[in-house]
Structure 1
Amino acid sequence: MRLFPTSRKAPALGPRNVQPARTCSQARSPAFFQIPQAGASAKDAGESSDVGLDPRRVHAPKHLDRLAANANQVFHALPRRSLFSWNFIIAAFAKNRHVDAEEVIAEESITGDNVGVDSPPLRVGPKLKLSVYKLTRASAKQSSMASNMIALILILLVVVGAAPFAIARPAALEGDRALEIKNMFEDWAAKHDKSYSSDWEKARRLMVFSDTLAYIEKHNAQPNTTFTLGLNKFSDLTNAEFRANYVGKFKPPRYQDRRPAKDVDVDVSSLPTSLDWRQEGAVTPIKDQGQCGSCWAFSAIASIESAHFLATKELVSLSEQQLIDCDTVDQGCQGGFPDDAFKFVVENGGVTTEEAYPYTGFAGSCNTNKNKVVEITGYKDVTKDSADALMKAVSKTPVTVGICGSDQNFQNYRSGILSGQCCNSRDHAVLVIGYGTEGGMPYWIIKNSWGTSWGEDGFMKIKKKDGEGMCGMNGQSSYPTTS
């Protein structure tokens, strides 16, 4: 069977649009297939080729591009792997249209075996496009064929998505390894007090957990890595779900009044080679912000707690909830900026204790009848994109920094010094509480607000770099002043 009848000229081929560069917060979306440049020969286009032609050189009608996009949207919500295949879908359609499915499909159709819950969009072309194109050509005399075909395929995709787990079970979870992962998942869920609304949802989370475990094991098996990954309370979330619920709430204003630190004359060589403010008693225990986008409040309060200790030798746990409820410049659980939090504390005349105004994990009405226990006089911004400037500031007091917390390695960090590739779009706020060197690699010590199951009991070591810094952490940092 020929793709194009010899009596008709193959359609002209043209260059496809190039996809724009993606940021770290965007899901990876590979192109369906590459089209040859304009001027490709009819032979290249498949005019005289049979079913075994290279599917990357197939020119499919534009409505099939839309079909592929729609199919991706449907498959994005499906379980990871399905026993249904594109062969089944195309064959069902072929039977309905009285087309020889074996002749049409041949070796050109594909299965959904590589479809992930949060994987890149389904690679439905070129092979699916080729099969669908052949079907369209085989039924070209019926003008309504294209729309009918699209509707039928999308309906079948929805049916696959609604199939019970017994039908759409993950092919990778079989045998002894499947039982081992299932038992690990049950123990993990009990440890983190996880519960799910349905058996289907639990099965889906098991598959995400399995994918996370595979990612962790693959990384940890690499030689010469400076850090390890591990399971934590986020292990049943895809990276997209994690980004949507736990990061993206660090919101610096477009125009801000920066206040440079007056320590530019400090010689880095005169500073201690290592420092950990925990050992000085200046850091409160790890807290957990939950699903409220309040990292800005936690990092600001943590820095105020430390600054107050260094001024008075009294370590007091202060209230993030007061900032969330009462700071009207910031946006509560929808995000904020530490500098604005410092401004609020100055204008409010202080902040109260966590005991007096406990954390709830959601924004509420401001309670103004609270004593103001700790005051600050202002804040200073650290010189941008300078590891030395940040080191100078941290040598005096813990410093709040903006960082890209949506990176997958950041999400699954367990121990060691985070290094290598990392996004640099600042979407999270943490506290830098020290620095040091290990195995010849300089690092920062970070206090996070994701509870103690993440990282080294809630803390992290991350490579010290100049310029933007690892995960963009040199670009936005500040600390409060007490005098």
Structure 2
Amino acid sequence: AYHTNRLIRREKEGGITDNPHLPSSLTEAMRIPGLKSGPRKPENDIFIVHVDDKNDQLEDSFLLRGSICLLAKAFIFGVLCFVVAFVLAYFLLETRDELQQDFTKFMEIYGKSYESEEKMDEAYAYFRENMFDLERERSRQPGVEFGFHQWMDQHFSTFSQKFSLGDRTLPPMEGVSRFEGFEERVNRPGEFSLKDKATPVKNQGSCGSCWAFATVASVETANAIAGNPLVALSEQEMIECDTRNTGCRGGVRSYAMSFVKDNGLVPESTYPYTAKEGEQCHIGNTTKVYIKDWRLLSQSEDAMADWLFKTGPITFGMNVTKSMYSYRSGVFRPTEADCSTKSEGSHALTLMGYGSERGQDYWLVKNSWGDYWGDGGYFKLARGANVCGMANNVVAPMF
């Protein structure tokens, strides 16, 4: 009655035959007199019950195999975890050793020393953080070379202040119209450079005078294009004498161009740069360089390239990213997030050419962070995508 799906057989001397005395079903078994619970015990004959356990054996086999499989997987997973932990530990140790070697090299290159062990530990912590950011940028921009800079042992917000980013845009109430492009198509070459008509790269130091350096660099080159001698002109004059701008606290390039148009620029040799604001303006009687006018250019980078080839250099402003300080060579293309949420401010620069490298169009840009920075003081900025808002506020001198 308990195993209705199993075969019950009777064993006799003549062999195994079906037992006619057994009930054929559970219902029939329940009708047997005296059967209250459990199977009815035969009185005369001895019966041997054989149960077909093939299904149970298969089920047990599957369970056994599953258990073995789970144990094997657990063992393999444990081995993999051990290997990963070992490799990670080795990698971290190797990375730490490399960072310590890089920090030692950094200290030697820039002559760094620290007054206490605590100060050195703090400097190393900032260096490590900046190096991790640098490695991420190298992975993201494999075609660009990045390297040390002398402020790697400081927080980004601290060393970015060393450059005192001070570019400001022209207030909209001025209502200055933009130059949208030449009427006739400009047949310009694929690559072009004005470096041979540029003065050596200068260094603004810790004064927020990038607006003056970008303006002066464009006027110097435009003056040479006009057939005049290439002469280094004075940024210090603009810092101390241009009353519409605020010296080391920043300035507007269009105001600076108006100053050059109305007042002219003296040679740098007669009014040298000090990286700070003096008490008064003292120009004296000397030769000056003037411009006829200036233009606010179109935001079209094709129109900008046309102007650069046909007329001369252009000043522009862009948001500076952390990775820009470590730039060495290649076409620099920061992300939109780097240009906005991770930027420390706007910086004024000068376009001196354009070209293409490994299929990437670029602008050739002159900076004012000294010739030890970047590629001799220059860098290549991705062209055609308004990187970091570089095409939003473009101002150029006219001779």
Q: TM-score, normalised by structure 2?
A: 0.69
1:225 matched to 2:142? The reply is yes
Map of 1:340-351 to 2, 5 A cutoff?
340-348=255-263, 350-351=264-265
Answer whether contact 2:203 2:369 (CA < 8 A) is retained: yes
**Whole-Å separation in 2 of the counterparts to 1:368 and 1:481:** 23
**Bigger relative contact order (CA 8 A; separation at least 6):** 2
**Whole-Å separation in 2 of the counterparts to 1:283 and 1:239:** 31
* Equivalent in the alignment of 2:326: 412
CA deviation vs aligned residue, 1:368-389 (integer Å, no higher than 9, x gap): 3252421111111111x31112
Amino acid at match of 2:379: M
* Equivalent in the alignment of 2:382: 463
* Equivalent in the alignment of 1:156: none
- Which of 380, 393, 396 lines up with 1:476 in the alignment? 393
1:184 matched to 2:105? The reply is yes
Residue 271 of structure 1, CA deviation: 1.3
Answer whether contact 1:326 1:366 (CA < 8 A) is retained: yes
Aligned partner of residue 161 in structure 2, secondary structure: helix
* Percent identical residues: 31
C-alpha change, 1:174 and 1:271, in structure 2 (3 Å) is closer
Aligned partner of residue 429 in structure 1, secondary structure: strand
**Whole-Å separation in 1 of the counterparts to 2:117 and 2:211:** 36
* Equivalent in the alignment of 1:371: 286
1:358 matched to 2:276? The reply is no
Map of 1:228-267 to 2, 5 A cutoff?
228-255=145-172, 256-261=174-179, 263-267=181-185
* Equivalent in the alignment of 1:213: 131
Amino acid at match of 2:349: V
Answer whether contact 2:239 2:277 (CA < 8 A) is retained: yes
1:391 matched to 2:305? The reply is yes
* Equivalent in the alignment of 2:238: 323
CA deviation vs aligned residue, 1:53-93 (integer Å, no higher than 9, x gap): xxxxxxxxxxxxxxxxxxxxxxxxxxxxxxxxxxxxxxxxx
C-alpha change, 1:282 and 1:273, in structure 2 (3 Å) is same
Aligned partner of residue 376 in structure 1, secondary structure: coil
* Contiguous gaps of at least 5 residues in structure 1: 1-170
* Equivalent in the alignment of 2:254: 339
Map of 1:134-173 to 2, 5 A cutoff?
none
**Whole-Å separation in 2 of the counterparts to 1:201 and 1:292:** 26
CA deviation vs aligned residue, 1:95-130 (integer Å, no higher than 9, x gap): xxxxxxxxxxxxxxxxxxxxxxxxxxxxxxxxxxxx
**Whole-Å separation in 2 of the counterparts to 1:288 and 1:226:** 27
Residue 178 of structure 1, CA deviation: 5.4
**Whole-Å separation in 1 of the counterparts to 2:368 and 2:93:** 34
* Equivalent in the alignment of 1:298: 213
1:429 matched to 2:344? The reply is no
C-alpha change, 1:416 and 1:362, in structure 2 (3 Å) is same
* Equivalent in the alignment of 2:295: 380
- Give the aligned CA root-mean-square deviation in angstroms: 2.4
**Whole-Å separation in 2 of the counterparts to 1:201 and 1:342:** 45
CA deviation vs aligned residue, 1:144-167 (integer Å, no higher than 9, x gap): xxxxxxxxxxxxxxxxxxxxxxxx
Amino acid at match of 2:156: N
C-alpha change, 1:381 and 1:172, in structure 2 (3 Å) is farther
Aligned length: 300
Answer whether contact 2:164 2:206 (CA < 8 A) is retained: no
* Equivalent in the alignment of 1:106: none
1:442 matched to 2:361? The reply is yes
**Whole-Å separation in 2 of the counterparts to 1:178 and 1:368:** 51
Residue 353 of structure 1, CA deviation: 0.9
Aligned partner of residue 359 in structure 1, secondary structure: coil
Q: TM-score, normalised by structure 1?
A: 0.58
Residue 174 of structure 1, CA deviation: 9.2
**Whole-Å separation in 2 of the counterparts to 1:175 and 1:445:** 37
Aligned partner of residue 148 in structure 2, secondary structure: coil
Aligned partner of residue 167 in structure 2, secondary structure: coil
**Whole-Å separation in 1 of the counterparts to 2:249 and 2:94:** 38
Residue 442 of structure 1, CA deviation: 0.8
* Equivalent in the alignment of 1:125: none
Amino acid at match of 1:211: E
1:308 matched to 2:223? The reply is yes
* Equivalent in the alignment of 2:56: none
Answer whether contact 2:144 2:329 (CA < 8 A) is retained: yes
